[in-house]
Amino acid sequence: MITEKLLHNWEACWTATRITTYFGKRKSFTPRKIAADKTISPSDRLWVLSKCIEHLDPAAARLFAIECAASVTHLAGDEYNQAQHAGLLAWLIEITEMPESEQSAVMEGFIVAALEWLGDYAEGWIE
Protein backbone atom coordinates (compact mmCIF):
# COMPACT_ATOMS: atom_id res chain seq x y z
CA MET A 1 0.00 0.00 0.00
CA ILE A 2 1.17 3.49 -0.85
CA THR A 3 0.83 6.01 1.98
CA GLU A 4 1.62 9.69 2.37
CA LYS A 5 4.50 8.81 4.65
CA LEU A 6 5.94 6.42 2.08
CA LEU A 7 5.81 9.07 -0.66
CA HIS A 8 7.56 11.52 1.65
CA ASN A 9 10.20 8.90 2.53
CA TRP A 10 10.75 8.31 -1.19
CA GLU A 11 11.16 12.09 -1.64
CA ALA A 12 8.36 12.43 -4.18
CA CYS A 13 8.49 15.54 -6.33
CA TRP A 14 4.99 16.58 -5.27
CA THR A 15 4.73 19.10 -2.45
CA ALA A 16 3.48 17.91 0.93
CA THR A 17 0.28 19.88 0.35
CA ARG A 18 -0.36 18.23 -3.00
CA ILE A 19 0.21 14.77 -1.52
CA THR A 20 -2.13 15.50 1.39
CA THR A 21 -4.77 16.88 -0.97
CA TYR A 22 -4.51 13.84 -3.21
CA PHE A 23 -4.96 11.43 -0.31
CA GLY A 24 -7.82 13.40 1.23
CA LYS A 25 -9.34 11.16 3.90
CA ARG A 26 -7.81 7.98 2.48
CA LYS A 27 -4.99 6.39 4.42
CA SER A 28 -3.46 4.56 1.45
CA PHE A 29 -3.78 3.54 -2.18
CA THR A 30 -2.85 0.35 -3.98
CA PRO A 31 -0.22 0.55 -6.72
CA ARG A 32 -2.97 -0.54 -9.15
CA LYS A 33 -5.10 2.49 -8.17
CA ILE A 34 -2.17 4.85 -8.70
CA ALA A 35 -1.38 3.23 -12.06
CA ALA A 36 -4.96 3.68 -13.26
CA ASP A 37 -5.42 7.25 -12.01
CA LYS A 38 -5.45 9.50 -15.09
CA THR A 39 -5.31 12.63 -12.90
CA ILE A 40 -1.65 11.74 -12.24
CA SER A 41 0.78 12.27 -15.10
CA PRO A 42 2.11 9.10 -16.76
CA SER A 43 5.66 9.91 -15.63
CA ASP A 44 4.55 10.38 -12.00
CA ARG A 45 2.60 7.11 -12.09
CA LEU A 46 5.61 5.28 -13.54
CA TRP A 47 7.84 6.82 -10.86
CA VAL A 48 5.55 5.57 -8.08
CA LEU A 49 5.32 2.09 -9.58
CA SER A 50 9.09 1.94 -10.07
CA LYS A 51 9.60 2.96 -6.44
CA CYS A 52 7.17 0.21 -5.40
CA ILE A 53 9.25 -2.35 -7.28
CA GLU A 54 12.43 -0.98 -5.74
CA HIS A 55 10.85 -1.01 -2.27
CA LEU A 56 9.71 -4.63 -2.60
CA ASP A 57 12.63 -6.07 -4.57
CA PRO A 58 15.66 -3.84 -5.25
CA ALA A 59 17.28 -6.43 -7.55
CA ALA A 60 14.14 -6.62 -9.69
CA ALA A 61 14.07 -2.83 -9.90
CA ARG A 62 17.66 -2.75 -11.15
CA LEU A 63 16.90 -5.40 -13.78
CA PHE A 64 13.80 -3.47 -14.85
CA ALA A 65 15.94 -0.34 -15.31
CA ILE A 66 18.49 -2.29 -17.35
CA GLU A 67 15.72 -3.75 -19.52
CA CYS A 68 14.36 -0.24 -20.12
CA ALA A 69 17.83 0.93 -21.14
CA ALA A 70 18.17 -2.09 -23.45
CA SER A 71 14.94 -1.13 -25.19
CA VAL A 72 16.64 2.02 -26.51
CA THR A 73 20.02 0.53 -27.48
CA HIS A 74 19.11 1.20 -31.11
CA LEU A 75 19.28 4.92 -30.29
CA ALA A 76 22.87 4.74 -29.02
CA GLY A 77 24.38 5.78 -32.35
CA ASP A 78 26.14 3.72 -34.99
CA GLU A 79 26.63 -0.05 -34.84
CA TYR A 80 29.80 0.30 -32.76
CA ASN A 81 28.08 2.48 -30.13
CA GLN A 82 25.04 0.20 -30.08
CA ALA A 83 27.34 -2.77 -29.45
CA GLN A 84 29.12 -0.86 -26.66
CA HIS A 85 25.80 0.08 -25.07
CA ALA A 86 24.55 -3.52 -25.25
CA GLY A 87 27.84 -4.77 -23.80
CA LEU A 88 27.67 -2.37 -20.87
CA LEU A 89 24.10 -3.45 -20.14
CA ALA A 90 25.11 -7.13 -20.26
CA TRP A 91 27.91 -6.31 -17.82
CA LEU A 92 25.41 -4.60 -15.50
CA ILE A 93 23.24 -7.71 -15.53
CA GLU A 94 26.28 -9.79 -14.54
CA ILE A 95 27.04 -7.36 -11.72
CA THR A 96 23.47 -7.56 -10.36
CA GLU A 97 23.78 -11.35 -10.24
CA MET A 98 26.96 -11.20 -8.11
CA PRO A 99 26.88 -11.30 -4.32
CA GLU A 100 26.45 -7.77 -2.98
CA SER A 101 29.84 -7.96 -1.26
CA GLU A 102 31.52 -8.22 -4.70
CA GLN A 103 29.42 -5.67 -6.57
CA SER A 104 31.14 -2.46 -5.43
CA ALA A 105 34.60 -3.39 -6.67
CA VAL A 106 33.30 -4.53 -10.07
CA MET A 107 31.01 -1.51 -10.35
CA GLU A 108 34.07 0.77 -10.20
CA GLY A 109 35.43 -0.89 -13.34
CA PHE A 110 32.04 -0.60 -14.99
CA ILE A 111 31.86 3.13 -14.26
CA VAL A 112 35.31 3.68 -15.75
CA ALA A 113 34.32 1.76 -18.90
CA ALA A 114 31.01 3.59 -19.22
CA LEU A 115 32.66 6.99 -18.82
CA GLU A 116 35.31 6.06 -21.35
CA TRP A 117 32.61 5.10 -23.84
CA LEU A 118 30.67 8.30 -23.18
CA GLY A 119 33.82 10.37 -23.59
CA ASP A 120 33.21 14.12 -23.68
CA TYR A 121 29.50 13.64 -22.98
CA ALA A 122 30.36 12.50 -19.45
CA GLU A 123 32.54 15.48 -18.58
CA GLY A 124 31.51 16.85 -15.19
CA TRP A 125 29.18 13.96 -14.31
CA ILE A 126 31.50 12.36 -11.81
CA GLU A 127 34.21 14.17 -9.96
Top-confidence residue, 124 or 2: 2
% of residues, the chain, pLDDT over 70: 94
Which contacts of 64-70 are long-range, i.e. CB under 8 A and separated by 24 or more positions? 66/92, 66/93, 66/96
**Residue of 26, 5, 52 whose CA lies nearest to 44:** 52
Where do the H-state alpha helices sit in 10-99? Answer: 16-23, 31-36, 42-56, 58-70, 79-97
Distance, CA of 1 to CA of 44 (rounded, Å): 17
Instruction: Assess contact for 126 and 89: CB atoms under 8 A.
Output: no
Residue 127 pLDDT > 60, yes or no? no
Residue 29 per-residue DSSP state? E
Residue 125 pLDDT > 80, yes or no? no
Q: What is the pLDDT of residue 126?
A: 54
**Residue of 82, 60, 59 whose CA lies nearest to 70:** 82
114 confidence band (pLDDT: 50, 70, 90): confident
Could you report the per-residue pLDDT of 11-70, keeping only the tens digit for each?
999 999 999 999 999 999 999 999 999 999 999 999 999 899 888 888 888 888 899 999
Top-confidence residue, 114 or 23: 23
Residue 112 pLDDT > 80, yes or no? yes
Q: What is the pLDDT of residue 76?
A: 87
Q: What is the pLDDT of residue 119?
A: 77
H-helix or E-strand spanning residue 28: strand 28-29
Domain ranges of the chain: 2-56, 62-122
